Structure 1
Amino acid sequence: MDLPTETCNFKSDWAANGLTFILIPGLCLSYAPQLLRIIRAGTSIGFSPWFLLLGSTSSAAAMFNLITLQFPVIRCCTQISFGKCFEQTAGVFQVGTQWFLFSMILVLYMLYYPPNLKYIQLGIDTHDARPIHHVRTKLQSSEWRLSVIVSWIVFLHLAIITLTTFVLLVDSPPSPDPTLPYPPQITLWATFLGVTSGLLAAVQYAPQIIRTYHLKLVGALSIPMMVMQSPGGIVMAISIAMRPGADWTSWMMYAVSAVMQACLLIMCLAWKIRQRRLGIDDFGRPLGETAEAPIEEATSTPSEEEDGVSIVIEGEVDDEAAREDTPLLKSRSVVHRGGVLGWIQGLGK
């Protein structure tokens, strides 16, 4: 279906185009330290699954918000040159790049999740000369189970909003009234996506800030990424606001995220100073250790003896603030006192 010629008569906005063409490679550059940090460290410990859930769904909603609002521009690509089409839809590539790179953090988080923290382990102590025997169970730890659920929610959310956006845009012809460029259902859907994205972004960093505060460690978080992205988020919000068809629902998410990320950055810098004072690295290991993974061994707690055997359940991450004189990232040990009630009590801790 051909569109009216005047509908596709766009003027070049060199300021918006300049910002966009700087921000797209800038996004890749800013996310690179975080992605490489997880890969090189061989662990994703320190991330909050809730942070990854909120960030992935928020960025996906922001991407489809702009796709929806700029769909009349996208339709014009059949009648304008490739260069003009790319120029006018560069904002979509920009938010799409941001969504893809953040989603890659979730992918690496799942791939590099510490294996010994995925399942509960039993440490059997026979109270003789033999060392504690570790038996791995098939029971998933609570955080690994949450991480798997988060991954499925992110996938389903993406599938649902993709299908809904596609159906609405394909079934809605362009409005013949130039003062009403979007049918009501398109406007409502775009507003829903934009407001949802902004609300998710507003609380996105709260779980990560809380987790980092309790760990009192930087963990796998990348400070260079946050240094680049905190001011970059404001610039990106301005860039999106300058795109044709975009409104406040399109840029709000990026402005809110930039402010929250700056708060997380300040906290991580404070923990960096604290870590140096305590002589530990970002994962709670004494400085100078060559191990590539954070400290994962469990420390046994006093237990009751039953027939000369004590069973210690291992494999949970302790999110409580640890003492300053001990490593801060360790597996939590829970004593299993025997019997069905003791087993249930142990799982609930």
Structure 2
Amino acid sequence: MEELTKSTGWNAEVLTTFSVHDKICEPHHDVYALYISLFLCVGLVVSYLPQHYRIISNKTSEGFSAWFLLLGVVSATSSFLNIILLQWDAITCCSMLSTGSCLESLMGVFQIGLQWCMFCIIFILFLLYFPEELKHAPHKPSSLHLDLPRGVERSAEWKISLGIAVTCVVHLVASVIVTAVLLKVVGGPEHYATNLWASILGILSMILAAFQYLPQIWKTWRRKTVGALSIPMMLLQTPGSALFVYSIATRPGTNWTAWITYMVTGILQGTLLVMCIVWHYRSKRLGIDEIHSSQEDEPSERTALLNASE
């Protein structure tokens, strides 16, 4: 060490740093994996744009399940923090690599980060374009005489949506704080507590993803209409799930907890896609407004009698 210090002019601390991080910071160049990752990053953005546009252009998010969005946001947040923890060595090595090598090594982080951002935008648009007529609970007169409402009460669906928004923000803040403390205070990415937290995030993301599409599949099945859901988005994303899983799985330092989420969501999203295609052509054949109409809300003779009896 002393001879190497004299010959290079570097101090012992710098040499120790290079000796410790030499293997970790060695750039891994895989042209095939790089092109797939770039394609997926562009494809992610492009695939979500039809959904964003559909909500904005129709000025409604009717048909979305708030529980579907809750599970999706929390799952995406957990998955994003999981990949950050697993790839923390690659992130810290960026100061010792060229810009190109750094960006290539972090493509897995960029992919999941984009996924998180795009899905969060859907949730934000869901709240911004929540139908006004569904925000208020229906007023029921207390007698046979017309009784004007003294105050406007929020509907149960709107209350749930607002509560879900608060839950998502609290989960994000709390998870980021725990992650930062483990990385900067407790002992870094190699500490057992950090690895345990990464595994918890990955498993939580996987479990939530497994149930994420179930509320939306149930809501769409009951409505018998597509609503504000975008079929083009699902047509782009469902086959892309296989490539996404492959790209994440081939990244150095990742394990099954980083990609299993996307395999499960791909299967469930394919189920929702088939259902939406069936309802789309059904609505077209019957001349039904597939965005605002809902079979579960359509009045019938039985519904009128029940309302009158109340």
Partner residue in 2 for 1:146: 160
* TM score, norm. by length of structure 1: 0.77
1:200 aligns with 2:197: no
Listed as ranges, the gaps of 5+ residues in structure 2 are: 1-12
Partner residue in 1 for 2:54: 37
2:228 to 216, 220, 227: 220
In 2, distance between residues paired with 1:267 and 1:76?
46
In 1, distance between residues paired with 2:135 and 2:157?
8
In 2, distance between residues paired with 1:112 and 1:226?
21
Work out whether residues 137 and 156 of structure 2, in 8 Å CA contact, stay in contact via their aligned partners in 1: no
2:249 to 241, 244, 255: 241
Listed as ranges, the gaps of 5+ residues in structure 1 are: 175-180, 284-293, 296-317, 327-332, 338-349
Cα-to-partner distance string for 1:230-275 (whole Å, 9 max, x where unaligned): 0111211111001111110000000100000000000001101211
Partner residue in 2 for 1:342: none
1:8 to 14, 20, 25: 25
Cα-to-partner distance string for 1:118-161 (whole Å, 9 max, x where unaligned): 11243769999xxx897583211000000000001111111111
Matched ranges for 1:104-123 at <5 A: 104-122=121-139
The one-letter code matched in structure 1 to 2:119 is: F
Moved more, 136-145 or 255-264: 136-145
Greater percentage in strand: 1
Matched ranges for 1:268-279 at <5 A: 268-279=276-287
Greater percentage in helix: 2
1:106 to 1:319, Cα distance in 2 relative to 1, 3 A:
farther
Matched ranges for 1:1-349 at <5 A: 2=17, 3-122=20-139, 135=149, 137-173=151-187, 182-283=190-291, 294=292, 320=296, 322=298
In 1, distance between residues paired with 2:187 and 2:105?
20
* TM score, norm. by length of structure 2: 0.86
1:213 to 1:134, Cα distance in 2 relative to 1, 3 A:
farther
Q: Secondary structure at the match of 1:8?
A: coil
Partner residue in 1 for 2:9: none
Q: Cα offset for 1:5?
A: 2.2
Work out whether residues 118 and 141 of structure 1, in 8 Å CA contact, stay in contact via their aligned partners in 2: yes
In 2, distance between residues paired with 1:199 and 1:182?
25
Work out whether residues 248 and 259 of structure 2, in 8 Å CA contact, stay in contact via their aligned partners in 1: yes
In 2, distance between residues paired with 1:101 and 1:207?
20
The one-letter code matched in structure 2 to 1:198 is: M
Work out whether residues 215 and 322 of structure 1, in 8 Å CA contact, stay in contact via their aligned partners in 2: no
The one-letter code matched in structure 1 to 2:240 is: G
Q: Secondary structure at the match of 2:137?
A: strand
1:198 to 1:219, Cα distance in 2 relative to 1, 3 A:
same
The one-letter code matched in structure 2 to 1:73 is: A
**Identity of aligned pairs, percent?**
40
In 2, distance between residues paired with 1:157 and 1:240?
24
Q: CA RMSD in A?
A: 2.6
In 2, distance between residues paired with 1:11 and 1:126?
75
In 2, distance between residues paired with 1:105 and 1:60?
14
Q: Cα offset for 1:18?
A: 1.2
Work out whether residues 137 and 155 of structure 2, in 8 Å CA contact, stay in contact via their aligned partners in 1: yes
Work out whether residues 225 and 290 of structure 2, in 8 Å CA contact, stay in contact via their aligned partners in 1: yes
In 1, distance between residues paired with 2:25 and 2:286?
62
The one-letter code matched in structure 1 to 2:206 is: G
In 2, distance between residues paired with 1:173 and 1:125?
63
In 2, distance between residues paired with 1:7 and 1:116?
56
Counting matched residue pairs gives 289
Work out whether residues 28 and 105 of structure 2, in 8 Å CA contact, stay in contact via their aligned partners in 1: no
1:114 to 1:151, Cα distance in 2 relative to 1, 3 A:
same
Q: Cα offset for 1:116?
A: 1.6
Work out whether residues 78 and 205 of structure 2, in 8 Å CA contact, stay in contact via their aligned partners in 1: yes
Q: Secondary structure at the match of 1:219?
A: coil
1:167 to 1:319, Cα distance in 2 relative to 1, 3 A:
farther
1:172 to 1:94, Cα distance in 2 relative to 1, 3 A:
same
In 1, distance between residues paired with 2:295 and 2:191?
49
1:16 to 1:172, Cα distance in 2 relative to 1, 3 A:
farther
In 2, distance between residues paired with 1:322 and 1:119?
19
